[in-house]
Amino acid sequence: DDAEMTYFGRAFFDEALRREQSLWSAYASAREAIRAREAEQGYEPSDPQWWVGESMERELPALEKTLFPGRQ
HEC string of 7-68? HHHHHHHHHHHHHCCCHHHHHHHHHHHHHHHHHHHCCCCCCCCCCCCHHHHHHHHHHHHHHC
Burial tier of 60 (Cβ tally within 10 Å: 0-12, 13-18, 19+): middle
Tens-level pLDDT at each residue, the chain (72 residues): 688 898 899 999 999 999 998 999 999 999 999 999 999 999 999 999 999 999 999 999 999 999 888 765
